[in-house]
Amino acid sequence: MFKEYETEILAPDEAGLSRAAELIREGKCGAFPTETVYGLGANACDGEAVARIFKAKGRPQDNPLIVHVSDRAMADTVCEFTPLGEKLAEKFWPGPLTLVLPKKDTVADNVTAGLSTVGVRMPSHPVAHAFIEKCGLPIAAPSANTSGKPSPATAEHVLDDLRYRIPFVIDGGPVTIGLESTVVNATGDYPVLLRPGKVSREELAELCGQVLLPGEGDFDKPASPGMKYRHYAPQGRVHVGRNIGELEVLRLDLSMHRMRMPVLILSNATADEMMRRGARPHEIYRLGDTKEEIASNWFTALRYCDKTGFMDIITEEFDEEGLGLALNNRISRAASKE
């Protein structure tokens, strides 16, 4: 393999952050922790630096990047705030909500894939905040994984995909949320939910009165370009059961007809029920009890399957309340064949 860089693993301290900021200001890209997943960042105003992100990830050029900022003044340098954008930022920033707003010319064109809007987010993770502040620049950053693969929840996941391809990763330990940010278009009167995440549809509706889905409402909002790809996916096939009965049929069917055993990635409650029905503990990967735990372990579970070589993965569908909508979205993207 061609080693472009000897990837530096930096501590999230003064010396580590200064080194990271130095590399970013030289026009390099590098990985850093956020509360959602690890990001691969570069100066959002430098098209050549941004191009390095696309190259390292193998990301399609038409999939726009989110610009990360450390404070509101920095946000104002990259986008125009609408009244709706103001309201959402006031309530949910810093945090896991990306606002799609009209872009300013400071942002390099390849960040937004030529769109007139830009996705902007202010992360709440203390290391992400300190890193962006040290750079003193808005940081364009997608998730720090090879394009299409499960998002990284640890610095080790980043290195599994991008070692030798990027100059540094700041190791801030495991992320807390584990699913990417909620993305809303905030250019109109109501938020349009482009990608579900930790900030739930219910919370957005409570603040704004109404939440639209792409294509809903009396105006045609652009959909989120990245959502069309098979995404967030392991190498094996993901099969989804909508209830215990379907999970049981999938398990029996796959166990009978394949040489390799399937693995069941399940919540603790569903795992217990499947074991009552004959599944063995070694066939099961337990995600946890609450939706929060399940979300934070989801991508780690998929990466475990890749490392272990499981070619068939059986998982469940959740109820859509709160984080359930975001979980089901990532599961259906992973199961998609396109």
The residues that touch Mg ion, with contacts defined as CB under 5 A, are: 142-143
> In whole angstroms, how close is the CB of 260 to ligand AMP at the nearest point?
30
Measured from the CB atom, the residue of 114 and 136 that comes closer to ligand AMP is 114
Smallest distance from ligand AMP to CB 194, Å: 5
Whose CA is closest to 233, among 333, 144, 309?
Answer: 333
- Contacted entry of Mg ion, ligand AMP, none for residue 119, CB cut-off 5 to 8 Å set by kind: ligand AMP
Residue with Cβ nearer ligand AMP (12 or 226): 226
227 binds, among Mg ion, ligand AMP, none (CB under 5 to 8 A by kind): ligand AMP
- In the list ligand AMP, Mg ion, none, the entry touching 226 (Cβ below 5 to 8 angstroms by class) is ligand AMP
**Owner of token pair 């998929």:** 302
Residue closer to ligand AMP by CB (options 100, 238) is: 100
At its nearest, how many Å lie between ligand AMP and the CB of residue 111?
8
Q: Which is nearer to ligand AMP, 125 or 286 (CB)?
A: 125
Q: Give 16 or 150: the residue with its C-beta nearer to ligand AMP.
A: 150
- Residue 66 touches which member of ligand AMP, Mg ion, none, C-beta under 5-8 Å by kind: ligand AMP
Residue nearest to ligand AMP (CB): 226
Residue 153 and residue 174 in contact, taking contact as beta carbons nearer than 8 Å: yes
- Which residue has the closest beta carbon to Mg ion? 143
Tell me whether residue 131 or residue 310 sits nearer to ligand AMP (CB atom).
Answer: 131
> Measured between alpha carbons, how far apart are the two ends of the chain, in Å?
28
The nearest distance, CB 59 to ligand AMP, in angstroms, is 8
Q: Measured from the CB of residue 291, what is the shortest distance to ligand AMP in angstroms?
A: 20
For residue 183, the minimal CB distance to ligand AMP (Å) is 5
CB of 227 to ligand AMP, least distance (A): 5
Interface residue list for ligand AMP (CB under 6 A): 63-66, 100, 112, 115, 117-119, 142-143, 180, 183, 194-195, 224-227
The residues, any chain, with a CB within 8 Å of residue 148's CB and separated by 6 or more, are 58, 229, 230, 231, 233
Judged by beta carbon, residue 12 or residue 39, the one nearer ligand AMP is: 39
